[in-house]
Structure 1
Amino acid sequence: MQPAPATLMAIKDLSLFAKTVIDGFMTGINKSASKGTGLEFSQYRSYQPGDDLRWLDWKMYGRSDRYYIRESEVETSISVRFIVDASQSMEHNDNGYTKMDYARHLCAALGYLAHKQGDAIGLYGLTEKGVHVLATRRDAQHLQRFYYQLENLQPGGQFTAPGYYKNIFATTSHKELVIIVTDFYEREGEIGQLLKELSAYRHEIILFQVMGRNELELDYGQYSSLQDLETGETVNIHAGQVRGLYLERLKTWLAAIRQQMLEQGISYRLLRMDAPMDQALRDFLNQRQKMSI
C-alpha cells in the first residue's frame, strides 16, 4: 500500500524523506551506462561510415558477409543540475502544503538517487532577484549542502529575468542532465525562453510541472475569489458556473505545453500534488528505463 501524499510530505527532514522514497526502488534517473567501446559486450549494429574500424566484428562478417560494430556498455557518471522555479506562484497551497514543499521533496529524492549513483548534483533556484547557485559536485558532503539549500530556498516575486541565468549553463562543454521543477506559471513566455536557452546547449532536459488538485479541478471549497500570488490581482469566481469552461481551457493549455516539450525534445511529466510522490517517481523512472533499452 502506498503512503498517502500527506504522510510522506509530513516528513520535514529532506534526507529522511529521500531515503524513505528512494531506497524502495533503485532504477535510476539516468541509465548509468552509455553505449561505447568498453569491455562488456552490449549488442551489434550495422557499420556506418565514420565508425572506428577497430570495433568491426570480423567473425560476424565471416558469417553474414556484412560489417557489424560491437557496441559495449561503459559505466559513466554525469552531472545533474536541478532547476527550481522559486517565483511566488510556487507558494500555492493545496491540502496543507505548497508547490515549493513538493518541489523540495521531489528534488531531495532525485538528488539522493543521483548522488547514490555517483553523479554530481547541483541546484539552481530561480528567484526574481537572481539565481541561487549550488555548483555541481559529487563529494561526500555535497548532498547535505544540497538539502540545506533546498530547505532555505524561499519563493517570492516573479520568474527570473533572462539576464540572471543567461551564462550559467554555458560553463560546461559536456552533456548534462537538467531537471526542471516548475508550475509553468508565466506571463510573457519567460519559462519558454529559459527552455529555449537550455535546449541550445543540447543537454538532456526533464521538466516536472507541479499542480495542485484544487487548481486542476477548480475546487476551492466555499471561496468565491482567488488572488494571483505574483501580481496580487483578485478574481471573483463562481466555480459551478465556470468550471466547464475553465477545465476546457486548462486542457488546451496543458496540451500546448506537452506539444512544446515534444517539439523541443524535452521529457515532460505533470505531477499532481495529491498523488503519492513515490508512485509518481516510480512510474516515471520505469518509463525512462524502458526508453533507454
Structure 2
Amino acid sequence: MSKLLDPKVLMAIKELSLAAKTTIDGFMSGINKSTIKGQGLEFSQYRSYQPGDDLRSLDWKMFARSDRYYIRESEIETNISIRFLVDASASMNHKDGDFTKIDYARYLAASLAYLGNLQGDAIGLYVINEAGIFSMAAKQDYQHLARLFYQLEQIKPDKTFITPIHYKELYAGAQKRELLVFITDMYETNEEIFSFLDTLNTLKHEVVVFHLMSPNELELNFKGYSTFEDLETGRSVQIDQDKARAVYKARLQEYLEATRIKLLDRRIFYRMIRTDQPLDAALRDFLNQRNKLNV
C-alpha cells in the first residue's frame, strides 16, 4: 500500500463509483457494467428470438421447457480508461498549515486511482507544467498502480503551466476516449488552463476538474505577512490584508462563480475543494453527487 493511501479515505469511498453512468464510447455504468446487451458474463434477461439473431445465443433449455425460441442476453462488462492530470506548476507549492496543494493533489489522485483500479478500470497519469507533459499510459493491474503512486510521489512543482507547444502529447493518446480527472489550482495568467481544457474537449474526453484552494487564500488570512510573492512569476506586491479583505473576498466569489459557469458551458464537471477539508468527506461528497447526476 502506498503511503499516499489513507485507510479511512478508502473505507469512505470503496462502495462508490468514480466513473458513474458516462455515455461516451462504452464507458461503464455506476456498477462497472454498460447497458450494452450481448454475450457477457452476467445474466440480464431473455427476449424472443428475432430473424438475424446469432443462433449461438439461443437458450435450448428454455426451448425445451416452452417450445419457443429465446435469446439469453447478458450485460457485457466494459472497463474504462481513467487518466489523472496533475497541475505541477509552481503555484501548487502554496502551503497552508501542514499541507501544500500538491500534497493534497497527490492524496486525491492516489485515492481515486485506487478506487478506479479496484473497479477494474485502466489508470493513467499526466503530470503537467511548463517543461512539458509526463505521460503514463493507462493500464489495469496492481503493479502499474504502484508505479503510478511512485510517480505521484516524485512530482516537484516548478515554473508555470503548460504551453500549447506541448499539446502533442495529448493527441498522441487520442485514439481512445478517457475520463480525465484534472487536479489544479486554476492559477493562470493568459487563459492557458482554459485553452488546455478546450483542447481536451476537442478530443471528446469527459473531464472532471478539482479546483484546490487553501483557507488562507479564501479568507485572505496570511498572519504576519504584508508582502506577497507570486510563486510562478516572482513578482511581489504589498497588501494591507485587513483593508483589502472585504473587496478581495467579493471579487474571489465573482471569480469562482465565473469559473464554474465557464466550465459548465464546456460540459466539464467542476468541484472546488478546500485543502483543509478532510479528503474522505470531500471525495464521498463528490462521488455521491456524481452518481446522482449520472443516474
TM-score above 0.5, yes or no:
yes
CA contact (8 A) 1:224 1:236 kept: yes
User: Per-residue deviation at 1:221?
Assistant: 1.1
User: Per-residue deviation at 1:28?
Assistant: 1.3
Residue 215 of structure 1 is matched in structure 2 by 217
Query: Which amino acid in the other structure matches residue 147 of structure 1?
Result: F
Residue 21 of structure 1 is matched in structure 2 by 9
Residue 95 of structure 2 is matched in structure 1 by 93
Paired residue for 2:195, among 193, 196, 204?
A: 193
CA contact (8 A) 2:12 2:284 kept: no
Cα distance in structure 2, aligned partners of 1:20 and 1:169: 37
Post-superposition CA distance 1:17-48 (Å, at most 9, x none): 2x43123332110122222224525xxxxxxx
User: Per-residue deviation at 1:165?
Assistant: 2.5
CA contact (8 A) 1:104 1:151 kept: yes
Q: What is the TM-score with the length of structure 2 in the denominator?
A: 0.82
Summarize the alignment of residues 37-186 of structure 1 with structure 2, pairs less than 5 Å apart: 37-38=37-38, 39-40=43-44, 73-186=75-188
Q: Secondary structure at the match of 2:12?
A: coil
The range that moved more, 126-135 or 277-286, is 126-135
Q: Secondary structure at the match of 2:254?
A: helix
Q: What is the TM-score with the length of structure 1 in the denominator?
A: 0.82
Q: Secondary structure at the match of 2:35?
A: strand
Residue 292 of structure 2 is matched in structure 1 by 290
Cα distance in structure 2, aligned partners of 1:254 and 1:74: 41
Residue 48 of structure 1 is matched in structure 2 by none
User: Per-residue deviation at 1:92?
Assistant: 0.3
CA contact (8 A) 2:215 2:274 kept: yes
Cα distance in structure 2, aligned partners of 1:33 and 1:216: 40
User: Per-residue deviation at 1:234?
Assistant: 1.0
Query: Which amino acid in the other structure matches residue 93 of structure 1?
Result: K
Q: Secondary structure at the match of 1:24?
A: helix
Cα distance in structure 2, aligned partners of 1:289 and 1:73: 20
Cα distance in structure 2, aligned partners of 1:185 and 1:242: 20
CA contact (8 A) 1:206 1:267 kept: yes
User: Per-residue deviation at 1:250?
Assistant: 0.5
CA contact (8 A) 1:170 1:201 kept: no
Q: Secondary structure at the match of 2:138?
A: strand
Q: Secondary structure at the match of 2:123?
A: strand
Post-superposition CA distance 1:211-253 (Å, at most 9, x none): 0000001011121111110111111111111111101111111
Paired residue for 1:238, among 233, 237, 240?
A: 240
Residue 265 of structure 1 is matched in structure 2 by 267
Query: Which amino acid in the other structure matches residue 37 of structure 1?
Result: K
User: Per-residue deviation at 1:283?
Assistant: 0.5
Paired residue for 1:247, among 226, 249, 267?
A: 249
Post-superposition CA distance 1:88-109 (Å, at most 9, x none): 0000001121000000000000
User: Per-residue deviation at 1:131?
Assistant: 1.0
CA contact (8 A) 2:174 2:203 kept: no
CA contact (8 A) 2:80 2:121 kept: yes
Cα distance in structure 1, aligned partners of 2:285 and 2:2: 24
Q: Secondary structure at the match of 1:141?
A: helix
Cα distance in structure 2, aligned partners of 1:192 and 1:239: 29
Cα distance in structure 2, aligned partners of 1:12 and 1:235: 40
Report the count of equivalent residues.
Answer: 256
Cα distance in structure 2, aligned partners of 1:178 and 1:72: 29
Cα distance in structure 2, aligned partners of 1:169 and 1:286: 32
Rg (Cα) greater in structure: 2
Residue 36 of structure 1 is matched in structure 2 by 36
The runs of 5 or more residues in structure 2 that have no matched partner are 20-29, 46-51, 54-72
User: Per-residue deviation at 1:290?
Assistant: 1.2
